[in-house]
A and B are shown apart, each in its own frame.
Chain A
Amino acid sequence: MKAPGAAFAEDLVDFDRAAAVERITSTLRDQVTKRLHRRGVVLGLSGGIDSTVCAALAARALGPDRVLGLLMPESHSAEESTPLGQLAADHLGIPTLIEDITPVLEALGCYRRQEAAIRRVLPGYGEGWRSKIVLPSVVDSDSYRLFTLVAQSPEGESFRVRLTPTAYLELVAATNFKQRVRKMLEYHHADRLVYAVLGTPNRLEYDQGFFVKNGDGAADLKPIAHLYKTQVYALAEHLDLPRAIRDRPPTTDTYSLPQSQEEFYFSLPYGLMDRCLWAHDRGLTPAETAVGTGLSEDQVGRVFADIEAKRRATRYQHARPLLVEEGVEVDA
């Protein structure tokens, strides 16, 4: 790879962090108290960088006692998620509640439906097995990027199987219960406390539709949706958030085998994905972007095509309910 151009995308890292924090906190305070007329915010704390930065910003904006952090593990969650979420809350001085969502997911048939979907392509799958779905790299070839199931038997034997559309859709639909149950609990506590629900997507996730509609995509405000992931990490450093959280690799923490966001959705490390999205947003050509990222022009072309394809495919994720008659919408 070529050395990335030094000046390329410098505002991803070289920006006024104090001003960014001030802008977000003053906006957040205004939105919660004056527009939404709520007394605080509730958010899920996953132990990841996005929710921790959001909690820190909300605590600065409203005071720590007006931010409720929910820790919502389930049986597939990584062991470190709850302790890291608690670490974030303790660091910020915000109250937390632990809501283990495993019994709710069992009652909904989440795990049973996941296993049934997987058995469509891997009939022996069942108790004691673990799995995830992965995408191939976007830069390596022109092939369509289709999900593959990666499974591990209780004896440690690994399997890779191409998913059929039915198996894929059923597996994702069952898994989406996790984000939707968490959101239901966030709104439960928001209702009880007259709080707003704070959503934690960064720009990459928001732009590329990396969220579940009416799951983690639902919220009353999304204070970091304009920030590239690189900038979220920069704010985490500026806010002096715990090193253990800043050093944790981004994960979906959704499937029973560890799954990076890279292999599930973005196909590139977030820093590189950020630079490509930044360049695409500014109308840079693949040739200009290649100089700044160290990728080849062809590779950048594939990433740009993938960015556009995801925007097309996830428009539905962003869409509000459609009405027959215009002018009926109520402005909040």
Chain B
Amino acid sequence: MNPVEQQLRTFITENFFVEDGDLRGEISLTRSGIIDSTGVMEILLFLEERFGISVPDDEITPENLDTLDNLVRYVSQAENRVSA
């Protein structure tokens, strides 16, 4: 597991009371009831504080944020943009 995924997984399991084994990479965090809109806000804040990623409004979408896999991909892409 890469370090980004590990940090995201730890944040989600600890903050939203989901068992680590239940947090599959492709599961929808909103439709499964793990997070609601306040949870999305908390994830945005976590991305900013932990990874220094400020997510613009038009990128606050399910395809970037709704699953652990999507989050890992989004953070990796954002970090690549910063380092490029």
Interface of A toward B, CB cutoff 8 Å: 141-147, 162-165, 168-169, 308-309, 312-313
For this complex, 14 residue pairs linking A to B, each with C-beta atoms less than 8 Å apart, are A142-B63, A143-B57, A143-B61, A144-B61, A144-B62, A146-B37, A146-B41, A146-B44, A164-B41, A168-B38, A169-B38, A308-B31, A309-B31, A312-B33
What does the 1/0 interface line of B18-61 toward A look like (CB < 8 Å)? 00000000000011010011101110110000000000011011
Is chain B's interface secondary structure helix, strand, loop, or mixed overall? helix
Residues of chain B within 8 A of A309, CB atoms compared:
30-31, 36-37
**Which of A143, A163, A169 makes the CB contact (< 8 A) with B60?**
A143
Closest A residue to B32 by beta carbon equals A312
Indicate whether B65 reaches chain A with its CB closer than 8 angstroms: yes
Residues of chain A within 8 A of B58, CB atoms compared:
141, 143
Interface-central residue, A141, A142, A144, A168, by most chain B CB under 10 Å: A144
**Which of A142, A146, A169, A308 makes the CB contact (< 8 A) with B40?**
A146
Residues of chain A within 8 A of B40, CB atoms compared:
144, 146
Closest A residue to B59 by beta carbon equals A143
Q: CA separation between A169 and B58, bound complex, in Å?
A: 23
Question: A134 CB to closest chain B CB, in angstroms?
Answer: 13
Q: CA separation between A163 and B45, bound complex, in Å?
A: 10
Q: CA separation between A144 and B38, bound complex, in Å?
A: 11
Residues of chain B within 8 A of A162, CB atoms compared:
57
Residues of chain B within 8 A of A313, CB atoms compared:
36-37
Given known contacts A146-B60, A313-B37, what 8 new A-B pairs fall within 8 Å (CB)? A142-B61, A144-B37, A144-B61, A145-B37, A162-B57, A165-B38, A168-B38, A308-B31
Closest B residue to A169 by beta carbon equals B38
Q: CA separation between A136 and B60, bound complex, in Å?
A: 12
Q: CA separation between A164 and B55, bound complex, in Å?
A: 13
Residues of chain A within 8 A of B37, CB atoms compared:
144-147, 309, 313
Closest A residue to B42 by beta carbon equals A165
Q: CA separation between A147 and B57, bound complex, in Å?
A: 11
Verify B36–A168 contact, CB threshold 8 A: no
Q: CA separation between A308 and B32, bound complex, in Å?
A: 11
Question: B20 CB to closest chain A CB, in angstroms?
Answer: 22
Residues of chain B within 8 A of A147, CB atoms compared:
37
Question: A331 CB to closest chain B CB, in angstroms?
Answer: 29
Q: CA separation between A168 and B36, bound complex, in Å?
A: 13
Residues 58-80 of B at the A interface (beta carbon under 8 Å):
58, 60-63, 65
Residues of chain B within 8 A of A145, CB atoms compared:
37
Interface-central residue, B31, B38, B41, B63, by most chain A CB under 10 Å: B41
Residues of chain A within 8 A of B63, CB atoms compared:
142
Residues of chain A within 8 A of B31, CB atoms compared:
308-309, 312
Residues of chain A within 8 A of B36, CB atoms compared:
309, 312-313
Question: B75 CB to closest chain A CB, in angstroms?
Answer: 17
Closest B residue to A308 by beta carbon equals B31
Question: A234 CB to closest chain B CB, in angstroms?
Answer: 32
Q: CA separation between A142 and B37, bound complex, in Å?
A: 13
Q: CA separation between A162 and B65, bound complex, in Å?
A: 17
Verify B57–A165 contact, CB threshold 8 A: no
Q: State the 10 A-B residue pairs at the shortest beta-carbon distance, nearest first.
A: A313-B36, A165-B41, A165-B42, A144-B40, A144-B60, A143-B60, A143-B61, A142-B61, A312-B33, A165-B38
Q: CA separation between A147 and B60, bound complex, in Å?
A: 12
Question: A263 CB to closest chain B CB, in angstroms?
Answer: 15
Q: CA separation between A251 and B42, bound complex, in Å?
A: 28
Residues of chain B within 8 A of A143, CB atoms compared:
57-58, 60-61
Closest A residue to B62 by beta carbon equals A142
Verify A163–B41 contact, CB threshold 8 A: yes
Closest A residue to B58 by beta carbon equals A143
Verify A168–B41 contact, CB threshold 8 A: yes
Question: B33 CB to closest chain A CB, in angstroms?
Answer: 5
